[in-house]
Chain A
Amino acid sequence: AQTVTQSQPEMSVQEAETVTLSCTYDTSESDYYLFWYKQPPSRQMILVIRQEAYKQQNATENRFSVNFQKAAKSFSLKISDSQLGDAAMYFCACRDDKIIFGKGTRLHILP
């Protein structure tokens, strides 16, 4: 990957509501992988979800799902039924011959 862009430095969502974090990337490879990582205040990086570029079906993990638009090189993360524990920095990453991370989106959950 050459670049990964997260255009929203910060976002807020009401508890129990749905929020979408955006990510765009640029790669010249046809075979690559996309990831969303969560970094809570403990600063431990935790894998949230992974998408293989060759798969058309969007990945889903419980309340987390992605909207993968390959032609547009877009990979957004949707969090449903937001919980207080979802508050964290979220990093989008793209891996072809190497892995590149975006600068992150800080998500606040409002009680």
Chain B
Amino acid sequence: DGGITQSPKYLFRKEGQNVTLSCEQNLNHDAMYWYRQDPGQGLRLIYYSQIVNDFQKGDIAEGYSVSREKKESFPLTVTSAQKNPTAFYLCASSISIGLSGGPSTDTQYFGPGTRLTVL
């Protein structure tokens, strides 16, 4: 049963603490993404990774960090430097991010999301 899983579904954090959100996929996709969704907003890209051991900043990377040690896994750490971390976080993957010189034809498939609340 292929898909993308995110855990936990709900996460609570005290101010000043780092917290890591998990994202795992068994679709054999090369590319993985992290998005943040706020009420009344669309999705905003935090980080993305095209291949193992490589990742790029998205539009709102400040206060976040990622790693891509395995193809299947792309964890996101929300650090204490993130000023307003309460949000819904979505992970996605696609077969590839695109060949050089052109956009990918690949559709992004999303996990169920993690709701992070800072207390």
Cα separation A73 to B27 with both chains bound (whole Å): 33
User: Is B41 among interface residues, defined by CB-CB distance under 8 A?
Assistant: yes
A: contact size bracket: 20 to 34
One digit per residue, 1 when the CB lies within 8 angstroms of any chain B CB and 0 when it does not, for chain A 43-60 equals: 111110010100000000
From A13-21, A62-70, A79-87, A92-100, the one touching the partner chain is A92-100
Kindly report which residue of chain B lies nearest to residue A32, judged by CB atoms.
B103
Chain B contacts for A99, CB-based, 8 A: 45, 108
B42–A91 CB distance below 8 A: yes
Give the number of chain B interface residues (Cβ < 8 Å).
22
Binding site for B on A (CB under 8 A): 4, 9, 29, 31-33, 35, 37, 42-47, 50, 52, 91, 93, 95-104
Known contacts A9-B40, A95-B104, A96-B103, then 18 further A-B pairs from the complex at CB < 8 Å, ordered by chain A residue: A31-B102, A33-B103, A44-B110, A44-B112, A44-B113, A45-B43, A45-B90, A45-B92, A45-B110, A46-B110, A52-B105, A91-B42, A93-B42, A97-B103, A101-B42, A101-B44, A103-B41, A104-B41
A-B contact pairs, 30 of them (CB 8 A): A9-B40, A31-B102, A32-B103, A43-B88, A44-B110, A44-B111, A44-B113, A45-B43, A45-B90, A45-B92, A45-B110, A47-B107, A50-B107, A91-B43, A95-B103, A95-B104, A96-B103, A97-B98, A98-B45, A98-B58, A99-B45, A99-B108, A100-B42, A101-B43, A101-B44, A103-B40, A103-B41, A104-B40, A104-B41, A104-B42
